[in-house]
Amino acid sequence: MTLPTDPTLAALLPDAPASHCTDPELRAREAATRLDSRWHAAMAKLTGGLSPVALTLAWTDWALHLATQPAQARRLGLAAWGQGLRLLGQSLAPAAQDPADPATPADPRFADPLWARWPWQGAVQAAQAAETWWAEATQLRGMSPHHQEMAGFFARQWLDMLSPANWGLANPEVLRRTLERQGGNLRDGAAHLGDDWRRRHGLSPLQPPTRPYQPGVDLAVTPGRVVHRNALAELIQYDPVTPQVQAEPVFLVPSWIMKYYILDLSPENSLVRWLVGQGHTVFILSWRNPDEGDARLTLADYLEAGIFDALAAIGRAVPGEAVHACGYCLGGTLLSIGAAALARPGQVQGAQTLPPLASLSLLAAETDFTEPGELGVLIDEGQVALLEDMMAERGYLSGAQMAGSFAYLHSRDLVWSQQLRRFWMGEADQPNDLMAWNADTTRMPALMHSEYLRRCYLRNELAEGRFPVEGRPVSLGDLRQPLFVVGTEKDHVSPWKSVYKLHRLTDTDLTFVLANGGHNAGIVSEPGHRGRHYALRLRPAGAAWVPPEAWGQQAERREGSWWQAWHDWLVTHSRGPVTARTPAAGLGPAPGHYVLQRYVEAG
């Protein structure tokens, strides 16, 4: 086990032993640190987990640079004044507006033709003008790039919150619905609000969904057995459905931020079921949902229990075969660390007893964190320190807190538009398998999550060859297995250009796929799904670096799901078919016990 990267957090956890320090100055410092941590945790509850210090620093950077650039300030001021006068004139002369021309054809919030009419058109145009002005005003020369991103991001958040679409009965669509239903939409909206409150407090909703979507009932139902279990993960092997299978098994490593059944949703959307149907022996990890007693787990524990111990179990179940390993999201990051460690002789104790890796597939997984996209706006030293103080209270980051962070990144669609639809329009959610999975959140142990943020996001140790495994740094340049890497066009968690940077870090055959869709829907891309397409290109070992923009021009365009291309690639890198293998009786049927662990999360 490696030492935690922040000894301060380790000393603040609930199970931290009492200090036996006799130096009065050190004891006073420890007491002050603990009191400050509790104060920060209480403050974070009022700020939604955002660091007011980090936010103030960003806006101070902006304000000071604006104050020292009088010409730019004058230009921006005159632009705002001119826009205001123009919009005022249009609002006073509505006949001059063209009601047939939609105000914002590209913005789904204002797609209704009523938004193109007076008086609503003026409000929409003012909101558009404000967005354009702030997008330019927050990009001042001399500002820290991170502060530029923060200022622009939070300006967009405020503007999205103040959007005319969120004005309740002043929204023409809400007004029309209220008149049509004689207020029934508001009654239904109040019921939805009450059910949300009941769910947050562990109570059953008064209006339960027509289909609950429960793992083991209508999700995660691909037949299989739990063949191995340790304190942190279960390993599931799936029953074959073909007489023969490819010799090398496929080992899937999902992220611990999510339940594993994102890869085994409804039968028609299940990557696991599809792989089994194509003639693969499939194993998958199911991570345990941690509790207060797991606060001191580290990334080394996840690596040992989730990668090395699982590989050993696969070697016992399928002796003598190499393994096609595949990681999704954080699971891919962890898998790349483990693969790099195994690639260096003597790095991992007992590595010679593990089955070798035949190939490595990474799905929406970052290995270089210099450009993490919008998620990077919420990650800096101040934010991470505040998050550590929050986690120190309970020993973990709750699933509700993590889900709130992701929703905040796209609050326009995931917060405000949903509130409008559910509370003002009175529309009930239409549940589906992906929504049910997304609501089934998991926790993260405090030390592990702190280590992940600091080592990967703040210090980029994996890309720079400084990430330690068993006391020695690992290098992705040691990888010699063929790589299959998937990015998605609209991914705001692992932006595809960030995923693409693995080309710089490795010198082996690398097939890169860019699929349409986002972080989840772009990966859960079953064959036959309408509108699916992807681009694909092989970078042979030793080839020169190709920038992502040039890659996009050179890649082969294909219609349909990338799953078929991956299957073909796996077959190409396999030694051929063998008789299908039936899992041992093991520890019980899939989906196992760990996936069913849930907690009432208040935030």
- Per DSSP, the residues of 474-517 read E-GGG--S-EEEEEETT-SSS-HHHHTTHHHH--S-EEEEEESS
Write down the H helix ranges in 291-359.
299-303, 309-317, 330-343
Closest CA to 378 of 2, 58, 124, 5: 58
Measured CA to CA, the distance from residue 440 to residue 217 in angstroms comes to 15
Give dist(CA 252, CA 234) in Å, integer: 12
- Total Cβ atoms within 10 A of residue 466: 13
379, 458 contact by CB (below 8 A): yes
Q: Examine the residue annotation and report whether 456 is marked as an active-site residue of this protein.
A: no
Q: With contact defined as beta carbons under 8 Å apart, do 275 and 282 qualify?
A: yes
On whether the CB atoms of residues 487 and 562 are closer than 8 A, the answer is no
> Residue 481: phi, psi to the nearest 5?
-70, 150
Burial pattern 37-76, b for ≥16 Cβ within 10 A else e, equals beebbebbeeeebbbeebbebbeebbeebbeeeeeeeeeb
Is there a contact between 367 and 476 (Cβ–Cβ < 8 Å)? yes
- Catalytic choice (21, 326, 329, 456): 329
Give the HSE-up count for residue 37: Cα atoms under 13 Å, Cβ half-sphere.
Answer: 23
Angstrom distance (rounded) from CA 142 to CA 581: 62
* Strands annotated E in 316-418: 323-328, 357-363, 396-397
Helix, strand or coil, per DSSP, at residue 283: strand
- DSSP single-letter state for residue 533: E
Residue 170: its H or E element? none
The residues assigned a catalytic role are 329
